[in-house]
Structure 1
Amino acid sequence: MGNGAKAAMRRERSDKDGKGSAKSQLKSNQAAMNIICGICRQTFLQTIKRKALEEHIESKHSGKEFSACFPGFEG
């Protein structure tokens, strides 16, 4: 049996199992939005840097403290 036939058999098996379908990353991205601004309740990805959060404070809540907007942030 040639490599082309083996690949076709592998594709058929994976289609039966449902493993070959493309998966969306939207649900996992939504689950990773666990940093929340304490004032406006905007969510951010857990991989965000402190500088980006400080920019949010400057543009949306000027004059507020970082700890008031993001009390549980460690980073």
Structure 2
Amino acid sequence: MGGGNGAKAAQKRDRNAKNAAAKKGDSSQLKSNAASKTIACKICFTTFQSTMKKPQLEEHAQNKHSKNYDDCFDEAN
């Protein structure tokens, strides 16, 4: 005769899935990334994360708009 552990395992999986879904809604990485997009291109309004370095922003300005950094971004970045 079986020990009945299959039902316990199924219950634990269900409980863990519910807990994971509840936690995911509170601390979603996508929501965190969207909130950190504080740099915006003045020409196309594309947003970038605050951790983006100036060389990467210069690359955007050159490749997308054939302009320099100062034409696309505020000096505060």
* Structure with greater proportional helix content: 2
When normalised by structure 1's length, the TM-score is: 0.63
The one-letter amino acid of 1:54's match is E
**Percent of residue pairs bearing the same amino acid type:** 46
Contact 2:62 2:68 in 1 (8 A): no
Contact 1:35 1:73 in 2 (8 A): no
When normalised by structure 2's length, the TM-score is: 0.61
How far 1:65 sits from its partner (Å)?
A: 3.3
Figure out how many residues of one structure are paired with residues of the other and give that number. 56
Worse-matched range after superposition: 53-62 or 65-74: 65-74
- Where in structure 1 do 4 or more consecutive aligned residues deviate above 4 Å? none
Unpaired runs of at least 5, structure 2:
1-14
RMSD, aligned α-carbons: 2.0
How far 1:73 sits from its partner (Å)?
A: 3.4
Q: Among 53, 71, 74, which residue is 1:71 paired with?
A: 74
How far 1:53 sits from its partner (Å)?
A: 0.3
Distance 1:71 1:55 in 2: 15
